[in-house]
Amino acid sequence: MRPLCKCKQRPCAVNYKKGTKTFYRSLCERCLRNGVNYGVPMWKQRGYDKKDYCEKCAFESNHSEQFNVYHIDGDLKNCRPNNLKTICANCQRLLQKQGVKWKQGDLLPDF
């Protein structure tokens, strides 16, 4: 079985084959071309993990694709844990449509 790349998303690239044995590189093709953290969101690089529920409406799901990471202050480079919240796709659309920040409702950022 192929080992995983350092990005932990794709299998390592094949380096060469000698007889029946296959030798692998330490990185996948994408990381070899673009760098190890290419395509990995900054919030994930900083150690934030998406939760399996919405922190705004408490919607729960087994599918992480239904959730997005929301930056409370709107600055995508500010990836401190107290600035990041996991919200469902519906809540994100409502926040974008209304044009308001996280301050609506009774939820406050964690400090």
SS3 label, residue 5:
coil
Under the banding of pLDDT at 50, 70 and 90, the label for residue 111 is very low
d(CA 39, CA 7): 10
Give per-residue pLDDT as tens, 23-65.
998 888 888 888 877 777 888 888 898 899 999 899 998 888 8
Contact residues for 65 (Cβ-Cβ < 8 A; gap 6+): none
pLDDT at 106 over 70: no
Q: Could you state, in order of their start, the residue ranges of all structural domains in the chain? A: 1-40, 42-98
Quick check: 20 pLDDT over 50? yes
Asked if pLDDT for residue 90 goes beyond 50, the answer is yes
Token couple for 68: 């997005």
pTM over 0.85: no
Whether residue 61 contacts residue 29, with contact meaning beta carbons closer than 8 Å, is answered with no
Long-range Cβ pairs for the range 29-35 (8 Å, 24+): 31/5, 31/6, 31/7
Please compute the mean of the pLDDT values over residues 1-23 and round it to a whole number.
86
